[in-house]
Amino acid sequence: MSLLEVRDLSVEFDTLDGPVHAVRDLSFSLDAGESLGIVGESGSGKTVSVLTLMRLLPSNARVTSGQVLLDGTDILRLSEKQMRAVRGKRVSMVFQDPMTALNPVERISKQVGNTVEYHDHKATRQQVRRRVVETLESVGVPDAERRADQYPHQWSGGMRQRAVIAMALINEPELIVADEPTTALDATVQAQVLDVLRQARADRGCSLVLISHDLGVVREVADDVLVMYAGTKAEYCDRETIFADARHPYTRALIRARPGWGPRTERLFTIAGRPPDLLDVPEGCPFVPRCTESEGLQACRTTVPPLLEVGPQHVAACHRARELDNLGDLTPVGADGGAG
């Protein structure tokens, strides 16, 4: 059985302009110890999807259908009290901006320690302290014994994100969800923080859902990749296949839009147009106004594409997915393919 299974999840927001369909019929699963990367442009429903599985959606959001099974239990049906025993314990989350997760006027040691005490009422002060220091050390905080007693503003952005990751790890969760954990950091620090996540997963054997708008980031860490477009699953496959045999024109556009990730002969391009207005998603395929492959195929304009199976554990929501098998490998030049 999968550790996490999301089945046919749909989430709507009530807005003054009407219902916004942020996530539609989304399904995916994750085995224990596996990592899944979720990619897509801003507004594609990545954050809403994972906030649903933490049960942290804003009050104007509604889950209109679906299940989120953690070890077979639908967490959408748990009471808030039962959910509090899951959140931060069995599943924990790392957000984009470490400052939103940290209290500026409390010492790091206290904040990380609170996460332990919240779930373990019997731990003594010394035990909590030792776990805090050990966990900070495990995510690469130097001189953790001393630095633990500092305040967040005394730490750099990268170190603060390590503290947040330590908070996420300290109760030994089965699943960590990291939503754009490196987006707010500069490039060198990004790579270090990804390393911390990769290492944590290797050391602890926990599962990881990593969200990014950047396929390169996902490729560094994830075993499998879920590409989202306009709240739906556009493509799903393993990390090797995504560059070697992506079938959804959107996935291919994402790859080619990334600096340094196309074949050298190909000029970098951006994806023309914008994602659809989720208040009013057009008929047919949501990607059609921006698609380079839809010409002459009426179905693209009239029928939502089904998820076509195009290989083992590989699906793409494109009417042409099975034809688009000879578009060529987009594996980055010089990629070793062995990261992680």
Ligand X SMILES: Nc1ncnc2c1ncn2[C@@H]1O[C@H](COP(=O)(O)OP(=O)(O)O)[C@@H](O)[C@H]1O
20 lies in the binding site for ligand X (CB under 6 A): yes
Provide, rounded to whole angstroms, the least separation between the CB of residue 26 and Mg ion: 14
Instruction: Identify which of residues 42 and 265 has a Cβ nearer to ligand X in the complex.
Output: 42
What is the 3 state secondary structure string of the chain?
CCCEEEEEEEEEEEECCEEEEEEEEEEEEECCCCEEEEECCCCCCHHHHHHHHHCCCCCCEEEEEEEEEECCEEHHHCCHHHHHCCECCCEEEECCCHHHHCCCCCCHHHHHHHHHHHHCCCCCHHHHHHHHHHHHHHCCCCCHHHHCCCCHHHCCHHHHHHHHHHHHHCCCCCEEEEECCCCCCCHHHHHHHHHHHHHHHHHHCCEEEEEECCHHHHHHHCCEEEEEECCEEEEEEEHHHHHHHCCCHHHHHHHHCCCCCCCCCCCCCCCCCCCCCCCCCCCCCCCHHHCCCCCCCCHHHHCCCCCEEEECCEEECCCCCCCCCCCCCCCCCCCCCCCC
Q: Which of 10, 35, 44, 47 binds Mg ion (CB under 5 A)?
A: 47
Residue list 47-106, contact with ligand X (CB under 6 A): 47-48, 58, 60
Provide, rounded to whole angstroms, the least separation between the CB of residue 21 and ligand X: 8
49 lies in the binding site for Mg ion (CB under 5 A): no
With a CB cutoff of 8 Å and minimum separation 6, the contacts of 206 are 33, 169, 172, 173, 174, 175, 176, 200
Question: Which partner, Mg ion, ligand X, none, binds residue 88 by CB below 5 to 8 Å per kind?
Answer: none
13 lies in the binding site for ligand X (CB under 6 A): yes
Provide, rounded to whole angstroms, the least separation between the CB of residue 42 and ligand X: 4
Stretch that binds Mg ion, among 40-48, 121-129, 215-223, 304-312 (CB under 5 A): 40-48
Q: Which two tokens stand for residue 334?
A: 């010089």
Q: Which of 28, 36, 45, 220 binds ligand X (CB under 6 A)?
A: 45
Residue list 252-281, contact with ligand X (CB under 6 A): 278
170 lies in the binding site for ligand X (CB under 6 A): no
15 lies in the binding site for ligand X (CB under 6 A): yes
Stretch that binds ligand X, among 37-45, 88-96, 301-309, 328-336 (CB under 6 A): 37-45
Question: Which partner, ligand X, Mg ion, none, binds residue 96 by CB below 5 to 8 Å per kind?
Answer: none
Number of residue whose CB is nearest Mg ion: 47
Q: Which of 40, 66, 276, 284 binds ligand X (CB under 6 A)?
A: 40
Q: Which of 10, 35, 44, 109 binds ligand X (CB under 6 A)?
A: 44
Provide, rounded to whole angstroms, the least separation between the CB of residue 165 and Mg ion: 18
Question: Which partner, Mg ion, ligand X, none, binds residue 43 by CB below 5 to 8 Å per kind?
Answer: ligand X
Which residues are near ligand X by CB under 6 A?
13, 15, 20, 22, 40, 42-48, 58, 60, 278
